[in-house]
Structure 1
Amino acid sequence: MKEFSSSHHPLLQHLFRSEYNKMTAVLCRHFGLQQMQLAEDLVSETFLKAVETWNRSGVPENPAAWLYTVASNKTKDYLKRAKTFETKIAEALKTEEQQETDIFFTEQHISDSQLAMIFAICDPVNSAESQVCLALQALCGFSVEEIANAFLTGKETIKKRLLRARAKLRNDQFKIVSMSDTVIQSRLDVVLTTLYLLFNEGYFSKTYDQMIRKDLCLEAIRLTLILTQHASTNTTSVNALLALMCYQSSRLDARTNDEGETVLFEQQDKGLWDQDLIDKGNYYLVNACSGNEVSKYHLEAGIAYWHIAPENERKWEYILQLYNELIVMEYSAVTALNRTFAFAKVYGYEQGRVEAEKLGLEGNSAYHALLGYLYASTSLSMAVKHYDAAIALVTSAAERRTLLREKELLEKAASQ
């Protein structure tokens, strides 16, 4: 995804983030990934045209529709004048799915194009990690840095992975075409991983100054919801993932204060929780439990459910039990730290500290933030020490402000 200068019109920045990938998906469905650069260039030219026109004539009544119209016209103009049309593209457009040369940016066509593109990109010609990387970039608009954060790896590694993935798809004569149910099922796990990572970046962004990016959370929910509307993809895992997203999204307004700092779970104003989203989460969780499958999304949805469920004296025991199952199914540092927090809630903060220190994640900011929290009630000096370590390691400005606030509160308490 190309960058868009911060000096451009603020509305265009928002539209670039929300519409660029939808427009690119429609054009890629039309041309195929061999012409992905062309699709990206046409969409970029559309936004540059908007900068020029809107600065001169003002913002149109329907900005998004204006962008779609210009993109459609630019595509038609290109097809008329491009010398390579007859030799390189026309044959591809003769397939059953691509007989029309008109570009339609209806809501349904955009959704269908995005869904078709994500399944097409998740081609086993590439490794599962490469499939997810490419889908996050091409469909979700992630920068290389955002993908690197999602995979906890370096940017150069991601750049190489993306280049290889695109090359393999081009060499494999990649096309966005209808797939059999068998092919769709074989690719669904990677698609769900992509949507899960998209949501996570919105729920807790480590790249941007704002810790929560609702646009990404909503986009992940929208795309996952599309999966529930097709018989071949309306699986229990899809419903479990959607339940998880609904539960987590229900608390977004309560998770930060007016300064953009994180509000700890126990300090959140429950009146700000979105009951409608909680109800939707309950609905999809019930759907997810209709079979015998238990995926990581089932376990995480169960954990999220207990976080927003009415008070229950065994609440943290249930959460810890689910984390125990999750960490056996798929270990990660994040899961291990979250499990330790639940462990401390059940067995006490002292035992929680012992459990946390076993992890040995000294290079992880969340590890030190957790120990800072657990030490706060017994050793202010140790708590401050760990918060200092967390602050030194953190990359997000919003997260740094939150940690500094907690440290200052402890130092204030120590001075009294």
Structure 2
Amino acid sequence: MTENQQSHKELLPHLFRQEYAKMTAVLCRHFGLKHVEIAEDIVSDTFLKASENWAINGIPKNPTAWLYTVAKNKTKDYFKHIVVFETQIKEVIKPNEFDIEQDFEFSSQNIADSQLAMIFAVCSPSNSTESQICLALQILCSFSVEEIANAFLTKPETIKKRLQRARTNLRNDSFQIKILNEKETKLRLNSVLKTLYLLFNEGYFSKTNNQLIRQELCSEAVRLTLMLTENNFTNTPQTNALLALMCFQSSRLEARTNDQGEAVLFDEQNKNLWDKTLIEKGNYYLVNACNGNEISKYHLEAGIAYWHTTPTDQDKWQHILQLYNQLILIEYSPITALNRTFAYAKVYGHNNAIHEAEKLKLEESNYYHKLLGYLYVDIDINKAIFHYTQAIGLTKSKIEKQSLSKEIERISEKNNSR
């Protein structure tokens, strides 16, 4: 295999993750495609052509621009073929209903506008809230079925069925990207915020890749949420609270992993690596989020993230625990319950926290066993090793398996040296 062949095979998967959803959104918006699948097929064909062309001719100077140009030309050709139009897409595309803008540029602003417009279009009331979010994660965020299943803590088969029904409903509902009025925008905003929240979470702690952090997903979620704060219809307290949460969490990304890509526990993080600018932005948006009487899960999670980034305070973990107590009442999830137990350990000690954790009965969760392993380290080494071993068996992440194995080695050596 030549060096050029190797490089293009490494570059294309990266570009696919970065650009596929953006290209799909722009094509749907500017060419008036009513079936998302048509745009997806064109973009997929573009990447197929790239794999063939670049293997022979080498990677172009600007590969991203090359992809956008080919996708644009393929879409134009799609409309030019009369036979194809008459036999395959006459009922799919009705140009008279749209102002098809065939001459446009793939500028950063154009792409961002198209993505936001697409998210709101996909979050149609014709589907359930969960289906809206699943579809948006797949189409706009390029999430795999497995990634969506992990986000919803459910089985891939359930997600596949949900996506199939959602796509069918969109087609039957005459899907199109259009300018929404204030009422329609506010009706769909909660689903959009949940989509961006899950997008950020997958980047902040990836469950399906051999890397614990996917910064590109975090950055994309922040960028799109920031755009929502710049629109009068979507600049709500919830939106600002979500953006504050993302800023606080993003400020610690560099400190959350070591040079080997392994997780670094909060207590062991190098605070000099925390991004103070992002912390200040988080403070700014959290203040904006308090403009009113609304308290959402994003407000509470942003408050928790705020206390994590503040200097050591005697009552810091007490504040965090109180916020977790409120969060569980608003929206319970196993992850929230486990995070609350960690905070509980900081306030009431590991022995008491072990009893709290065991009440949850989350034996099938690697996070559950990872937490119990951590809590037992200074109490019962054998039980700590047992739970860390259970966590290794339940996680899919190679990096996390390595990190947990090293922790078992560390505490075993510590125990043997006593």
**Is the alpha carbon distance of 1:59 and 1:6 closer, same or farther for their aligned partners in structure 2, counting shifts above 3 Å?**
closer
Who is 1:81 aligned against?
81
Who is 1:167 aligned against?
168
Q: What amino acid is the match of 2:16? A: F
Offset, 1:103: 4.8
SS at match of 1:358: helix
Who is 1:92 aligned against?
94
Q: Distance in 2 between matches of 1:82 and 1:226?
A: 39
TM superposition score normalised by structure 2:
0.94
Contact 2:27/2:33 (CA < 8 Å) preserved in 1? no
Who is 1:110 aligned against?
111
Contact 2:186/2:234 (CA < 8 Å) preserved in 1? yes
In the TM superposition, what are the counterparts of 1:93-172 in structure 2 within 5 Å? Answer: 93-95=95-97, 98-172=99-173
In the TM superposition, what are the counterparts of 1:11-410 in structure 2 within 5 Å? Answer: 11-31=11-31, 34-85=34-85, 88=90, 92-95=94-97, 98-410=99-411
Q: Distance in 1 between matches of 2:391 and 2:92?
A: 56
Q: Distance in 1 between matches of 2:215 and 2:248?
A: 14
Unaligned runs of 5+ residues in structure 2 are none
Contact 2:342/2:371 (CA < 8 Å) preserved in 1? yes
Offset, 1:90: 9.2
Larger mean Cα displacement after TM superposition, 53-62 or 217-226: 53-62
Contact 1:93/1:100 (CA < 8 Å) preserved in 2? no
Q: What amino acid is the match of 2:206? A: S
Q: Deviations over 1:251-304 (max 9, x none)?
A: 111111111110000011111111121111111111111221111001001100
Offset, 1:375: 0.7
Offset, 1:137: 0.3
**Is the alpha carbon distance of 1:70 and 1:340 closer, same or farther for their aligned partners in structure 2, counting shifts above 3 Å?**
same
Contact 2:35/2:171 (CA < 8 Å) preserved in 1? no
Q: Distance in 1 between matches of 2:58 and 2:51?
A: 10
Q: What amino acid is the match of 2:38? A: L
Q: What amino acid is the match of 2:96? A: K
Offset, 1:411: 1.0
Q: Deviations over 1:146-204 (max 9, x none)?
A: 01111111111111110000001111111111111011001100110000001100111
Offset, 1:6: 9.7
**Is the alpha carbon distance of 1:99 and 1:90 closer, same or farther for their aligned partners in structure 2, counting shifts above 3 Å?**
farther
Q: Distance in 2 between matches of 1:8 and 1:310?
A: 46
Q: What amino acid is the match of 2:171? A: R
Q: Distance in 1 between matches of 2:274 and 2:388?
A: 28
Offset, 1:225: 1.0
Contact 1:118/1:191 (CA < 8 Å) preserved in 2? yes
Contact 1:32/1:174 (CA < 8 Å) preserved in 2? no
Q: Deviations over 1:20-60 (max 9, x none)?
A: 11000111224556432221121122222222332333322
Offset, 1:219: 0.8
Q: Distance in 1 between matches of 2:252 and 2:33?
A: 38
Q: What amino acid is the match of 1:337? A: L
TM superposition score normalised by structure 1:
0.95
Q: What amino acid is the match of 1:383? A: A
Q: Distance in 1 between matches of 2:105 and 2:36?
A: 17
**Is the alpha carbon distance of 1:93 and 1:229 closer, same or farther for their aligned partners in structure 2, counting shifts above 3 Å?**
farther
Q: Distance in 2 between matches of 1:7 and 1:412?
A: 42
Contact 2:32/2:93 (CA < 8 Å) preserved in 1? no
**Is the alpha carbon distance of 1:304 and 1:82 closer, same or farther for their aligned partners in structure 2, counting shifts above 3 Å?**
farther
Q: Distance in 1 between matches of 2:131 and 2:220?
A: 21
Q: Distance in 2 between matches of 1:235 and 1:95?
A: 32
